[in-house]
Amino acid sequence: MSLFSEFHHIRPMPTVHGSSNDECECYLTNGTNSAYYSRHSFYDYRNLGDYAGVPSPIQNASRKTGVTSDYFNSDTWDDSWSIQDWSNRGKGVSLSGDAIVLMINSPNNIYIEKNDDKDAASDTFLTMRTMRLPGFQSAAEFESVSTYHYVSVRMLARVTGSAGACMAIFTYLEGEELADVQEADIEIMTRDRKNRVQYTNQPSFTENGDDIPKATRNGTLPEGVEWHDWVVHRLDWTPKRSTWYANGQEVASIEFQTPKTRHRSFSTRGATVWIDMVYNVTKDNEEKRSFDGRGLESDAEQYGGLVRRDDSKGACKVVCSIDESGEAGETKILSKSAASHMLDMQYWTRTFVFGIILLAYI
């Protein structure tokens, strides 16, 4: 029996670096894990009709493919995301790790799709597709090209398809040992109940295969919402804890083994209309070359990537919000020239790469 699971993913055009409001110098999030961030980016997939089209699946496990449209060769895409084409092949005919099915990530499974929903809120969305084909699983993955020092990310997304797939959004730092892995993630298994979502600060198990209960929360989407509906999923990753929201309501929070080192940002398998995020960048990140004309490197070294709101050079005097604006991608000014706050972020000492990944398994 074939498996087809489809995810509509985040559309990254246009990408807004900084803010939709030129006055904004930093961003304050709402909720129980409120924090300040220095950057804002919005990735929009709602109006890409010129690139829309569903490609036929690649049936041959040995065949290499290119991207599905010119959009994925554009600077808009390449400046933010990298499509993956790796597989779980090991040496010879073996598979890596404990894999029992060959899985191949194909650029052919990432494409722009027309939104045929009744009363659709967008013309198009980004899709990541996975299919079980004879002899292998065809999957999709893309990761961010930037590194981040903590992040608050929201994405309007849904997951559709048969049982047997996994959609994941996460920040990630690999390690040589399992205990060195650092990851905060959202996982939706299509074999589970349609309102169930798993939230984890990885690793969630030991080298011996024993579960670590404190690392995971099994959440329920609020107010009768299911993951095949369009849902705004949100992850706030700060030094003290990871907190997750669905449609603005907190659904999980974990302090245990919150990631503390820079991470790689990946992608998700699912349907995504947009991604909206505020974040801090690493010292060596190209995006960090300026902050409204003021360098951030010294601030990052002294205050862990965030600047004090006081009268010192490089301070943040215009605080904005992406939560109070009422529109995805837009910002609202909360305050100007106030000499307070942000002092609690001084201890942030390391940087992270944020990512969203879509994975599929049988």
217-231 per-position pLDDT tens digit: 889 999 999 999 999
pLDDT at 126: 95
pLDDT at 2: 33
Q: Which of 4-8, 32-36, 131-135 is the least confident region?
A: 4-8
**Which run of H or of E encompasses 77?**
helix 75-78
pLDDT at 211: 61
Cis omega (within 30 of 0) on the bond before 203? yes
pLDDT at 176: 55
pLDDT at 350 over 50: no
**Residue 299: C-alpha distances to residues 64, 72, 315, 346 (Å):** 45, 35, 9, 10
The stretch 237-252 carries a mean pLDDT of 90
Give yes or no for a contact between 101 and 131, defined as CB atoms under 8 angstroms apart: no
Beta bridge partners of 282: none
pLDDT at 362 over 70: no
pLDDT at 174: 57
pLDDT at 258 over 80: no
Closest C-alpha to 300, from 316, 286, 282: 282
pLDDT at 20: 62
pLDDT at 184 over 80: no
**Which run of H or of E encompasses 161?**
strand 148-161
pLDDT at 39 over 90: yes
pLDDT at 68 over 70: yes
Token pair 């894990």 in the structure block, residue: 33
Token pair 């967008």 in the structure block, residue: 122
**Hey, what are 148's tokens?**
């981040």
pLDDT at 76 over 90: yes
Domains of the chain (ranges; CATH) run 3-360 (2.60.120.200)
CA distance 341 to 329: 24
Q: Are strands 26-28 and 318-321 parallel, antiparallel or unpaired?
A: parallel
| Residue of higher predicted confidence among 74 and 255 | 74
pLDDT at 302 over 60: no
**Hey, what are 282's tokens?**
């690493």
pLDDT at 282: 64
Between the ranges 165-179, 219-233, 324-338, where is the mean pLDDT highest?
Answer: 219-233
pLDDT at 332 over 90: yes
| Residue of higher predicted confidence among 299 and 197 | 197
| Residue of higher predicted confidence among 11 and 43 | 43
The stretch 99-106 carries a mean pLDDT of 89
Q: What percent of the chain has pLDDT over 90?
A: 41
pLDDT at 209 over 70: no
- Work out the pLDDT band at 273, boundaries 50, 70, 90: very high
pLDDT at 37 over 80: yes
Give yes or no for a contact between 353 and 182, defined as CB atoms under 8 angstroms apart: no
Q: What percent of the chain has pLDDT over 70?
A: 67
pLDDT at 278 over 70: yes
